Amino acid sequence: MALVGKKFPNLEVDAMNEMGDTFKVNVLEEARKNNKKVVLFWYPKDFTYVCPTEIFAFQKALSEFEKRDTIVIGASCDTPEVHFAWLNTPKNNGGIEGVTFPLLADTNRNLSNQLGILQIGNEQYDESSDNIIMEGPYITWRATYLIDEEGTIFHESVNVEPVGRNINEYLRMIDAYSHFQKHGEVCPANWEEGKEAISENRDSVAKYLSSHVN
């Protein structure tokens, strides 16, 4: 079920930072109380392969998000302790040492379940042990949420594990939505900051298409 246009779930989740501090984060309240946008990105597991490349890409772009009054938060279903171990493992050993934004630890799966992003395996009956066996992982897909200052989701995307995200696209989405918030103009395909936007009327659209689409 699409969550765009809806409020982000009002839930507190454990979090960890690079200093080893464990605390609670309510993403909805982070947006509201700080009057800032939030980018929340979920990755499957700590100490994996594509995940650290994405996390460092977000870290590298952190100042760009901050310029746009946007808070960056990572998330997985690992525990705070595993997050802290990964945050203190050097890059050359597969770690993410140097990352400064918080990581949610949704170990009880409450938030990821509400968002509908868990990879839920199939139940299988094992006759030899007379037990129900769960097959498959119980982790999240690569899901990303952009949340506005009121706590409303204005973008969501979910993709499979092998495919990493394009961080610049989230910056572009934030720019476009901010432009709409400020000017009331809608942003055409491939719009970037500084380019022409469109008023919501047929004349404006016709003029744009005649000058930009061959």
Cα separation, 122 vs 133, in Å, equals 8
Cβ-count burial of 132 within 10 angstroms (0-12 exposed, 13-18 middle, 19+ buried)? exposed
Helices 50-60 and 167-183, axial angle in degrees (round to 10): 40
Which active-site residues does the annotation give? 51
Residue 77 Cα distances to 26, 114, 118, 132, 140, angstroms: 16, 13, 10, 23, 7
